[in-house]
Structure 1
């Protein structure tokens, strides 16, 4: 803001110069005016003197006329170059204007100006150091531009990331009011309300999800939320239906597929459904994996951090074929990955001759992203020897 006020100050000085310079020159102009008035007074006195002499009979008419003409010429000579008179405004009006102009200008700028928006734009020129700083900036943004849809939307997402669902719900409500009842916005609004209400369902949430799915049957957030609610209520078949519908609409490389597939598997387990069995002519596929932490990693993780151990195709799709979940406190540990751990029937270990083994530590419990990771090279899915897997590298974001 310093450069803004510096430029404003320079412009103010230039404007004041137009007012104050004439005042500073006032004395000179006044002196010139006084000299002119004196010349005029002398001229008039000379004319009166000539007329007196004419009345006394000392001067003839011709001599009177000649004397007046001579006096007039002398007056013109004395006032030559002073044809343009300098008006005297006085000092009170210019000085008052010099004071009132900047004060009035500052008042008008503070009322209608955009210094807050300028400062906000400068803040967004550099990356925030934390989510808290980003949310604080967004709060300033919506305050400065209350009709900005993007500001309200990203503020709502920021509140959700900081686990402030009640504030997120209010921000999503404002976003919907400005942007219209887009299905994805309705779904996110419903999700925020659900967590703000202590994971209790309500008529408002039901209405929002119904409206979203009526416009877009594949709306991701609404489908996922309905699946969670159905699972928590013990309606596992409904949960599977919602999540499978959601899976069919996702890109094969979408990282969310893994979490959804795990939910479907858990729901099937709760229903007592067996995992897809291998055909009679297929040998069962099992891979034994020992997982441990490297010494340089052990001191940088917490006992309750999640550890995901999975096999995925060595080439092509990155979708996991079999997954096990442990905690850091369980390591070192041995696990068995098999077709029984498949999340989708068409994606089983026995369907892929070469796989890659991966172990990931995730403090947030996110199976698709974490802080530390360990990988094997390509391994035959029929390998029956114990495979060693060490978590020893920070995961690149």
Structure 2
């Protein structure tokens, strides 16, 4: 911003120079004109004096002619150079000065109305890499506050809220993005997903309408396909879940990390229906079986000493792993009580909350432990957050519950 105002100041000084330099030159011209007029007046008075002396007989005709010639030579000498001055059309000395005073105010006012200083400031802020997810959230919240019409800022804020398990806030953000950008299929799918998890995974007519609208505009809209598969599986409609997930696998890139997890969900649904493993497209459940047999991630969870007196033995402890880059919902969860701490637990694909989302389907995960007196896995009183680790990590991880939970019930 300093560079911008320096450039603006230099341009303003240049503009003022165009106004003030003519004023200074005009004063010089005025001085020359005044001096010339004075010389002409003196010349005329001298001629009148010569005429009076000639009339009284003090000067003869030759002396009168000589006096006139001498006076003319003196006038020419006094006005030499002044005759070359250009003819000046004066606008008055006050008009340029008034314009010079009004120009900074007028320029600033016009820029504040039509300029893009807010966009420049946001671009400068977002050019810096945020150090934490909370810092990114704060930046996006400031961006939508400064420019509520920015659909892009609302969209990324919604995605950030989802990664923080703030589905209700995410739903509001996606709705605002739709208000500004129109009913784009991707936005409709993201909005439906946020509403689904904010509503405790209860399917509603609004969610059905949103996904129908998104898929009508784009039959390959991945968020809507995945959400419909999840909802169908949770309600026991396994055949519908298979249909939605097969469409989703078909449109995903071959190297997409979630493809394997979705294929695993399809095999689980087939098992529920008593169907054999699918092999028509060369896909089998071997990878799913291999992931199920893996030991998973082992973590030792402990409670900070300063919190010992603030918790109760019966308080619930939720230990879960979630994808660093992926859906916000936990991939695997186990539940203990404070009385069990410290405890060592293992999180693997067999602990998956949803069959289509497993630890083995993502490269990096984050371990989290939350204490909730009310038994709410998404909001509690105390929490411990681990650093991102590889999903194939075999070393014992340490997780300490040591800070207040920002998502208090």
TM-score grouping bracket, smaller chain normalisation: 0.5 to 0.7
Deviation at 1:334, TM superposition (A): 12
| Distance in 1, Cα, partners of 2:148 & 2:363 | 46
| Distance in 1, Cα, partners of 2:44 & 2:114 | 60
Aligned equivalent of 2:214: 212
Task: Please give the secondary structure, in 2, of the residue aligned with 1:53.
Answer: helix
Q: Counterparts of 1:283-322 in structure 2 under 5 Å?
A: 293=298, 304-306=318-320
Partners of 2:171 and 2:194 within 8 A in 1: yes
Partners of 1:191 and 1:225 within 8 A in 2: yes
Question: Aligned residues, how many?
Answer: 337
Deviation at 1:149, TM superposition (A): 5.2
Partners of 2:144 and 2:154 within 8 A in 1: yes
Task: Please give the secondary structure, in 1, of the residue aligned with 2:122.
Answer: helix
Q: 1:281-339 CA deviation, whole Å, 9 max, x = no partner?
A: xxxx9998777859xx87799x743479xxxxxxxxxxxxxx998689774679999xx
Give the structure with higher Rg (CA). 1
Partners of 2:298 and 2:347 within 8 A in 1: no
Aligned equivalent of 2:388: 371
Aligned equivalent of 1:348: none
Q: Counterparts of 1:130-169 in structure 2 under 5 Å?
A: 130-139=132-141, 141=143, 150-169=152-171
| Distance in 2, Cα, partners of 1:261 & 1:82 | 96
**Structure 2: 5+ residue stretches without partners:** 278-288, 305-316, 323-330, 337-341, 370-386, 399-409
| Distance in 1, Cα, partners of 2:142 & 2:245 | 38
| TM-score, L = length of structure 1 | 0.63
The match for 1:243 among 239, 242, 245 is 245
Task: Please give the secondary structure, in 1, of the residue aligned with 2:82.
Answer: coil
| Distance in 2, Cα, partners of 1:45 & 1:57 | 19
Partners of 2:320 and 2:332 within 8 A in 1: no
The match for 1:254 among 253, 256, 268 is 256
Aligned equivalent of 2:192: 190
Partners of 2:334 and 2:347 within 8 A in 1: no
| Distance in 2, Cα, partners of 1:64 & 1:375 | 122
Partners of 2:320 and 2:347 within 8 A in 1: no
**Structure 1: 5+ residue stretches without partners:** 277-284, 309-322, 338-342, 345-355, 377-388
| Distance in 1, Cα, partners of 2:116 & 2:4 | 11
| Distance in 2, Cα, partners of 1:132 & 1:23 | 57
Q: Counterparts of 1:1-397 in structure 2 under 5 Å?
A: 1-20=1-20, 32-56=32-56, 64-83=64-83, 84=85, 92-139=94-141, 141=143, 150-173=152-175, 175-176=177-178, 181-264=183-266, 267=269, 271=272, 273=274, 293=298, 304-306=318-320, 331=344, 362-363=366-367, 371-373=388-390, 390-391=395-396
Deviation at 1:145, TM superposition (A): 6.4
Partners of 1:375 and 1:390 within 8 A in 2: no
Partners of 2:155 and 2:174 within 8 A in 1: yes
Task: Please give the secondary structure, in 1, of the residue aligned with 2:81.
Answer: coil
Deviation at 1:140, TM superposition (A): 5.0
Q: 1:84-115 CA deviation, whole Å, 9 max, x = no partner?
A: 27888776545433322222222222222222
Query: 1:92 and 1:207, CA in 2 relative to 1: closer, same or farther beyond 3 A?
Result: same
| TM-score, L = length of structure 2 | 0.62
Partners of 2:296 and 2:349 within 8 A in 1: no
Partners of 2:301 and 2:343 within 8 A in 1: no
Give the RMSD, CA atoms, in angstroms.
Answer: 4.9
Q: 1:122-149 CA deviation, whole Å, 9 max, x = no partner?
A: 1122112233433443455556666655
Query: 1:150 and 1:48, CA in 2 relative to 1: closer, same or farther beyond 3 A?
Result: same
| Distance in 1, Cα, partners of 2:349 & 2:25 | 98
| Distance in 2, Cα, partners of 1:32 & 1:73 | 19
Q: 1:239-291 CA deviation, whole Å, 9 max, x = no partner?
A: 3333344344444543223443454455566x474886xxxxxxxx9998777
